[in-house]
Chain A
Amino acid sequence: MRLLLAPALVVIVVFAAALSALLRYSVLEFVPGSLRTGGLTLANFTGILSRQYLGAVWDTLLLSLATTVLTLVASYPVAYALARTRSARARSALLVLTLAPFFTGAIVRTYAWVLVLGNTVLTWPVPMLFTPRGVLVGLVHFSMPTMILLLAAAVSHIDPVYERAAASLGASPWRVFRRVTLPLSMPGIVSGSVIVFAWTLSAFATPELLGGGRVKMIANVVRDLALDSFNWPGGAAFAAVALVVTLGLLAAAGRLTAAAERSPS
């Protein structure tokens, strides 16, 4: 039995080593024009407290929040239809449409959005490509399949008898949804939102391609610092701060999830 733990231990050691390397670099002095690092310093952390870097953290949080809300709103009707459609053919078609983006790959999907958002296929009333709006569209599209599947699983676990009972007692369809379906699907809503929020916090390819260099999320800034400025200590410090922020937010979201699961449904 203990032998079976060995692979897990190897993975933990590798991850811990990578994380400790990150933390070690974050407190080493950056020497411009060299890959060598200087002595111990906290300057990397004070350096990233500038408006430019904190702005990237703020933009990331806003985009992640907006992505989560919009993904939820856009996914719920699809998930509901997926869970409640009686026709097996229609359900299969919906499922295929939902899963299709998974088979195209993130880069291909994002390049398709470059064409769509860049007035090549459609003409937009406001600029979309290389703006936060365009990045938001790409992030929502990227997140929808996962959210739909999680919500559909939650909705399919709600016994339709409850909804029929509410309707038979005179509740309007909207009231049935608001008072019965929505509260009972809350575990799916919370878990889907936490997952979408967490991975949007670390989004890289979508803001890189749809942001045109103007929209920088945390991962893009870390890459810029480490790979373009050769400032590995600065990149490590920024990544460490971002990691702490992410863990804090996820801990808060975890509490929210637990509360939702405990709430009487």
Chain B
Amino acid sequence: MLVRLVVASLIALVLPVSTARAQNSLVISVWGGNWKDTVERVAGKAFTAKTGIPVEFEVGGTIDRLAKARVAKGNPLVDLTFTTSHVGRLYISDGLYAPLDMAKIPNAKEIAREALRSEYHLGSWSYVYTIVYRPDLVKEDITQWSDLWKPGLKGKIAMPDFDPSHIITIAALMEGGNETTWQKGQERLKALKPSVVAFYSTDAQSQDLMKTGQAPVQVMLSVNAYHLQEQGIAVKLVQPKDYPGIVGIDTMGIMAGTKKADAAHQFINLVLSKEIQSELVRALKAGPVNGGATVPAELRGQPGIFVTPAEWKQRGYIVDDEVRAKTLPAWREWFTANIVK
């Protein structure tokens, strides 16, 4: 009771400021940096121009924003949230998202089946976790997942420890399993241990490890790899020949209790339009969820860019959101005990 009282008091202290600021605006929760800048520049401005409704942003990490949303449950501080598809499941399970009114999102009819994550959240763009490396520092030719186990890569690989679901799924696929029978890949993963020099906790750490050459081979987000290329770091993204990359889909959901549900639906509809999707592809170098979006020639067929249903199916593997959200703690525990340590 005391805790609730204090939390309520703190919210009451900040609420007048937030409320006054957000009274006329659509408030969107999104990651900071390039993500927020791009959503603001590409979608936010177009939305304001079309509807006259200003857009404001609350930025933060995936879990920070989830924690904030939880504290403000029922009286949300934001109207719409961008988050990863499996974390979206946590929003749903905690009653933080409102069901979407698909009649108000006509553009949803044009989006890929894979982007229809649930009746609460829809995909906004896609990417893959794949192998990225620096050819100037790695003599081995890397063309497929199994190349990670080459002896020449000993002490050169980095991968995320905050979410090992990608490499766990790949190892399981290589042993004839999948994310639900992930134990099949355990021995294979253990064999990879000597090759791993570091584990990263954030995208920034991953990029720093690549820039400094401390870990010139990484299981990495395709979007981050394209970002490194833009910065002049000569990294190569692998389109693995043996098994597909692990797809990530970032999603949009409308907060339960928001008073701007109509505006939020309009925003989602706009983001899913061909025009905005085309802009997002160019800006983020992420895949469109609307197959009608224009994809620049240099990005077509690249890792993480899926346009046709066939491409979604052949070049990407989507881990089931619910399995991922439920099994991630067990995956992390096993991974930390057996691979990290």
Contact = CB atoms under 8 A, between A and B. Distances in A.
A16 B197 CA distance: 41
Contact of A212 (B2, B3, B199): B199
Given A33-B89, A35-B94, A212-B197, A224 B336 contact: yes
B70 A35 contact: yes
Interface in B64-115: 66, 70, 89-90, 93-94
B308 interface: no
Instruction: Tell me the dominant secondary structure on chain B's binding face.
Output: helix
Interface string A114-144: 1100101000000001100000000000000
A118 B212 contact: yes
B214 A118 contact: yes
Interface stretch (A166-174, A226-234, A238-246): A226-234
A186 interface: no
A111 interface: yes
Contacts of B15: none
A213 B93 contact: no
B156 to A, nearest CB: 12
Contacts of A55: 341
A213 B329 contact: no
A255 interface: no
B328 interface: yes
Interface string A193-234: 000000000000000110011101000000010111111001
A70 B199 CA distance: 27
B208 interface: yes
A153 to B, nearest CB: 38
Contact of A13 (B6, B93, B213, B325): B6
B199 to A, nearest CB: 3
A52 B337 contact: yes
Contacts of A17: 2-3, 5-7
A208 B328 contact: no
A105 interface: no
Contact of B201 (A14, A35, A118, A213): A213
B332 A228 contact: yes
B315 to A, nearest CB: 27
B94 A114 contact: no
B333 A229 contact: yes
Nearest to B155: A127
A165 interface: no
A21 interface: yes
A213 B2 contact: no
B52 to A, nearest CB: 36
A14 B162 CA distance: 30
Most B CB within 10 A of own CB, among A14, A17, A209: A17
A92 interface: no
B93 A35 contact: yes
A55 B336 CA distance: 12
A27 to B, nearest CB: 14
Interface in B303-341: 322, 325-330, 332-333, 336-337, 340-341
Interface in B35-50: none
A224 B5 CA distance: 28
A35 B62 CA distance: 14
A33 B326 contact: yes
Contact of B332 (A20, A114, A212, A229): A229
A228 B163 contact: yes
Contacts of A120: 212-213
Contact of A213 (B70, B163, B198, B327): B198
B19 interface: no
Contact of B340 (A209, A213, A234): A213
B250 to A, nearest CB: 18
Interface string A233-263: 0100000000000000000000000000000
Question: Which 3 A-B pairs rank lowest in CB-CB distance, beginning with the nearest?
Answer: A213-B199, A33-B326, A212-B198
29 contacts: A13-B6, A14-B6, A16-B2, A17-B3, A17-B5, A21-B3, A24-B3, A30-B329, A33-B90, A33-B326, A34-B94, A35-B66, A35-B90, A35-B94, A36-B93, A51-B337, A52-B333, A52-B336, A120-B212, A130-B197, A130-B214, A212-B197, A213-B161, A213-B340, A214-B199, A224-B162, A224-B332, A230-B63, A230-B328
